[in-house]
A and B are shown apart, each in its own frame.
Chain A
Amino acid sequence: MYHITKPIGILGVGSFGTVLANLISINYPVILYARKQESLHNINNLKVHRDTKILDRIIATDDLKFFAESCDIILPIVPSYAFSTLIDELNPYLEPHHILIHGTKGFHVSENLNDPNLSITPKSIMTMSELIETKTKVYRVGCISGPNLSKEIASGQPAGAVIASKYNLVIDLGVQILKSHKFQMFKSKDIKGIELAGIFKNYLAIITGASSGMGYGINVSALLITKGVSEMIEIGKFLNVDSKSFLGLAGIGDLIATCNSPLSRNFSVGYRLAKGESLDQIIPTLNEAAEGINTIKVIYHLVKNQKLSTPLVKIMYKVMYEGFPMQRGLDILMRLSSGYDVVY
């Protein structure tokens, strides 16, 4: 146990940031960083934010300097598209003593995703921990991931997550601040594997959402999830990542949660696509980002010229971005050749 005297900082007041603040406040005081005055008011005065009651020992601030100087452990819990900008804003106040544990399940891509000639190589993508290590002075970085549907945690149900880092100190601190009677914590040294597991499962959730939207049942869902794991492992190998982490809480655990739940944003994007809405119609109605929408694009362009067996991402990309009919896409996925079941 380390002697923690300073409050824990959480960057971002989305639904997951908010439930994490509540979980941590069981153990330690929390400072939330929020930009919008409305969020500050909700948290500090009304003590309710995103329909969630804010527990005692949580305050919010819009002063990044104060935030960084007050907290040594900071958890950036923001969508991947906003991550880089926010880190740039925080960077002037970050020092070597800071420890960052993020909870973002998306890639940072150095290419323009709207470029018609988009081409992505392993070098053009970074996980959030890699982005932090590249952009800031901070080395001690961790990642929290797992089946954590915010609404369930907010309603008081128990859950569990995995904390990953190269550094034992970061893992131990992560456990120490988050573990409680309502929240189990597991450890991992494979941070990149855990990050990728969290990223990959989002696009698989869109696919299972689509199958559900087309009226398919649990059999199809199970088929897609399992073949999805094979695909994750295939892409993981290509990115030189050990596949073991995909079989844990951040991989299969999170897949089971998101791929079967209407509470998942990514699942509902797939579901609505199957019901005939277009991406352009869906995106503006989302309260928070569905990471899978971009992830499908990124992974498709990463693997399109590789000799990898990744039918799910290829078909779903065509459905989402090239106007391929959803029913035909799923039909193809249901008629894949009868290769061996487990090849990894």
Chain B
Amino acid sequence: MTNTLRTLLPLEFVEKKVSNWRIFRLTQDKEAFIKEIVADLTKTLLKKYSTNKSLYEEIASTLYLEKIRMSSSRWKADAKDQKDFWNKVKSQLLQIKSDPNWENNAQKELVSILRNILYRNAYEIVGHFNPSIFNFTQKLLPFLFALVFNSKIGHRLKKGLLSRKKAFYEKFRIFGDFELIRNVSKNGTLIFVPTHFCNTDSPIVGYAINSIGIDPVIYGAGLNLFGVQPLSFLMENLGAYKLDRRKKNNFYLETLKAYSRIAIERGTHSLFYPGGTRSRSGALEKKLKLGLLSTAIEAQQNNFEKNGQKIFVVPLIISYNFNIESSSLIHQHLTEIGKEKYVSQTFQYSTTYKILRFVKQFFSSDSEICLSFGPPMDVLGHRVDSEGRSLTPDGEIFDIRGYFDFEETLIKDEQRNFEYTKLLGNKILDSYFRYNIVMPTHLVAFVYFQLLALKNKKLNLFELLLLPRDERFVDYLILKNAVKTIKTKLIELNQLEKLMLIDNIIAHDETQIIEYAIDNISLYNEKKIIFQDDKNNITTEDISQLYFYHNRLTGYNLEAYVPHN
């Protein structure tokens, strides 16, 4: 496994002065930032909707979509005056139409409505950063664990600051070439692109980024999360901007993209989940949403025009031995792909109580969270050196500016940028697989599920999920043998630099790995996902969750190596 440096964490911030933090500067400059978004977007949109008629129609369509949204779903975090605002837009549109010659005369009024909508969108989205609250939470987090939990680690956490931190980072393990990430951060803007499996990913990722000494990043969080205190208060003050996934109107989506792009152009480190949403299947992302990712390319194009500042994309892979949301995620996944073929069994929702119970169990167990930073890349997915210069696969230094030029002139080209986004997306996916940290639960769940599938070759996935309890078992020795085989294969892949392995897979034998997986996989769950029955066979109370953990190892072509009985 590559250098972990975990005993040294947290590293000092690369930029020590908070007033120089980019997120802080963005907050300080909030008004100008919003004005820039609105001005930039108005210009683009007026090009797209160049006639009064087309602009009118788009505004009317936005109004229509917003009315449907307001009547079909209400959230705590919704603005109180939203109805009034849209009613006003409606009356303004009626007013415009009252002039028979509006298609020629109404430009000023329509542009004014457009601006108002964009202002409103931008204000609703915009995040805030409060350094005192940031400092407070930084200190609070490890301390909280110490106070709240009377556990193995809690005991050590109470001892003293140094020991507390050390103990904390033994559970919260971060891997990657931190020095490289820190160095390139001095020469440009970072965009972290993590995998996404759980709603708790954002604070965890944020904490990891700060632990390696990178100042806080801005990130989008679902507006629904802003309805819950104290989460809402913390997010409001720690740079989260709000994404409302119910709003599908073009103006809103464009504002969101412009927000992300202009923040990046202003040098603000950012984070977004290129998978778009949590992986429902438990597998590593295999396809990315290119919309938000394309803002990285657009921003780089515009930076080349303005100041040449480079943008770096840093993949980040999160591995848990268990996932508190596995039950509901896999349920959603199976419903989506199986439709009527999937017979739902009861599943549990996460509640605050359950999350607290998870944290307690997590810190009192041997389990750990692993965060693996892939090497930073330029916006076309090339590796970079410590000064942020792009490298060919052979290590030759080169300048990517030419990709945006024709005959030394910068060409702004949305279609080209979209193709480049696809290239970048593929490189991110490669990185996810390459720097994925395989943990015991992934290995054992993979092998167990594959053995079950082999035992029931004639059944399709959905029939397999309905296997009665007494047919779900696999002989312990067969499982042990298969775990050994796949472990050997994983070690091979690790040596070929195709994936990473957590040390307790390498150091332990099959018996210990299986034991560890059984102890950890069901930590949070009411159902036992893998356990040994009274005849010592391996069995499960929930095949769909087993399938969820199994999926984490799909995509490496390991299936063919699971030994047939």
Contact = CB atoms under 8 A, between A and B. Distances in A.
A72 B403 contact: no
Contacts of A72: 406-407
Contacts of A97: 402-403, 405-408
A8 to B, nearest CB: 12
A181 interface: no
B415 A2 contact: no
A283 to B, nearest CB: 36
Contacts of B411: 169
A99 to B, nearest CB: 8
Interface in B385-421: 392, 398-403, 405-409, 411, 413, 415-416, 419-420
B407 A4 contact: yes
Interface string B130-143: 00000000000000
Size bracket, chain B contacts: 20 to 34
Interface string A86-125: 0000000001111100000000000000000000000000
A81 interface: no
B419 A167 contact: yes
Given A3-B407, A139-B423, A169-B411, A95 B402 contact: yes
A5 B407 contact: yes
A93 B245 CA distance: 47
Interface in A160-179: 166-169, 173
Contacts of A168: 413, 415-416
A2 B413 CA distance: 13
Nearest to B406: A2
Given A137-B392, A139-B423, A169 B398 contact: no
B402 A167 contact: no
Contacts of B416: 140, 167-169
A169 B407 contact: no
A6 interface: yes
Interface string B354-380: 000000000000000000000000001
B218 to A, nearest CB: 30
Interface in A198-222: none
Interface in B312-333: none
Interface string A1-37: 0111110000000000000000000000000000000
Nearest to B399: A96
Interface in A38-91: 72
A96 B398 contact: yes
Contacts of A6: 407
Contact of A96 (B402, B407, B409, B413): B402
Contacts of A169: 406, 411, 413, 415-416
23 contacts: A2-B406, A4-B407, A72-B407, A95-B398, A95-B402, A96-B400, A97-B402, A97-B405, A97-B406, A97-B408, A98-B402, A99-B406, A139-B380, A139-B403, A139-B420, A139-B423, A167-B415, A167-B416, A167-B419, A168-B413, A169-B406, A169-B415, A173-B406
Interface of A: 2-6, 72, 95-99, 137, 139-140, 166-169, 173
Given A96-B398, A168-B415, 5 more contacts: A96-B399, A96-B402, A97-B405, A139-B419, A139-B420
Interface of B: 380, 392, 398-403, 405-409, 411, 413, 415-416, 419-420, 423
